[in-house]
Amino acid sequence: MRSPRVVKVKTIVVIGAESAGLTSAASARLRDRDARIVVMERNPYPLYHPCGIPFAIGGRVRSISDLVEQKPRLQNVEMKTSTEARAIDIKDKEVEAIDLKTSKEEVIQYDSLVIATGSLPIRPPIHGIDLENVFTVHSISDGERIIAAVQTAKKALIIGGGLIGIETAEALRERGLEVTVVEMLPSVLANMLDADMSEIVLGKLREIGINVMCGRKVEEIVGDGRVSKVRAGGEEFPADLVIVAAGFRPNVELARAAGIEIGITRAIKVDERLMTSAEDVYAAGDCVEARHLITGKPTLSQLATTAIRMGRVAGANAAGGNENFPGVLNTAVTSIHGLEVASTGLTSQAADSAGIKPVSMRVRVLDKPRYYPGAQPITIKLIADSNDGRLIGGQVIGNDAGARVNLLAFAIRSRTTVWELSKMEYCYAPPVVDDIEPLIVAADALARRLA
């Protein structure tokens, strides 16, 4: 009588339980029903939604605790919260970890590992940045401290005019504070929008009472223990609350210490399967560099959507799959006082920097027939490669901007030309959209310019 065959159960370890990490664990479980899957997270909760923090500060989200997922829907996964991975041994395939509550140390062996350590807020070397009431917007505790400070603060200054900076500025304005945004670049949302589109956002911010100063650098944060003013561009701005929204850097120290290769973007370098330079070690999320679908070059894509997409691939491959991650266009959207702002692909300036000669067209039309109540203007800018008319970028401001940019992202990935987009079939009903879809109007105008 033959003895039963012994099947070795695979152990998959995931470091980090934010979007990329938990998606990796879920994807690995779908691929391998029997594997032991262990997720380590240094926070005391398994998952939170950092993109929601500005909206909790502003009061649109009832409580910041609503951003925490206490019980993520994961099937048969060992969740080790308040557990910090201290070291990775890629030779012996071990992770050294410590329980932050009990100080108990443990070593877990893995067959496959996913690093999803995320990113950390950049704190520029500004004198006074460690004063009281100077915050970043990254963690639940950051949000809690800001909400507490808002109770007595009168004047806020935001360092940085990117997505987090603009969203937090609006949140603080909604709480009744006087708000100033200082941006070092010539325009706000410069990674998303060309300057002419950024002007629309600037107008909206000023309309709701936010003071925006572009092309200025913060030189000093001043105060005696607690911030009282900020010096920027040779001027002084009174402030009893400062938000540092200068971006995020990949959290790669654990990977670097293990000897895993770091790329030119200072994020973890991976191949198409999201495997690192170490065998059976994958990485996903903000700590990873991605390939830009248009330029083909490494880039950072610190978006929750990218983290989730990467997590699906890294988790599946850690469990024995063979999936590829296609790359990114950095498709993003926000809403400023009800005005949707979205973009995908390259801006005109980014295209120039990448050696692509862009041609663009901006149109402003109504989103519904002029006779229909509530029709609102929508502004669309399309960018194409002047050599072949292939779409390489799109920016939309107005109702349903996010949905239209999602369509443009698919078109860009499919290497669609302006002429092909102008022939796209679309729907029409007066309560929903005009009889000529605004994207078609923009494509027709750009096609005429290319001709």
- Point out the residues that are catalytic: 51
> Residue 236 and residue 213: Cα distance in Å, rounded?
12
Phi, psi of 165 (to 5 degrees): -60, -45
Helices (H) and strands (E) in the chain, counts: 11, 27
For β-strands 226-232 and 235-238, DSSP reports them as antiparallel
What is the distance between the terminal CA atoms of the chain, rounded to a whole angstrom?
79
> What is the identity of the amino acid at 391?
L
| Cβ neighbours around 384 below 10 Å, total | 30
> Residue 288 and residue 302: Cα distance in Å, rounded?
9
As to burial, measured by CB atoms within 10 angstroms (0-12 exposed, 13-18 middle, 19+ buried), residue 435 is exposed
Q: Judge contact between 68 and 45, C-beta under 8 A.
A: yes
| Rg from Cα positions in the chain | 24
The alpha carbon of residue 98 and the mean position of all alpha carbons in its chain are separated, in whole angstroms, by 29
Starting at the edge strand found earlier in the chain, the sheet holding 281-283 runs 78-80, 36-40, 11-15, 112-115, 281-283
> Residue 194 and residue 188: Cα distance in Å, rounded?
9
> Residue 232 and residue 243: Cα distance in Å, rounded?
14
Phi, psi of 381 (to 5 degrees): -125, 125
As to burial, measured by CB atoms within 10 angstroms (0-12 exposed, 13-18 middle, 19+ buried), residue 82 is middle
Q: Judge contact between 272 and 298, C-beta under 8 A.
A: no
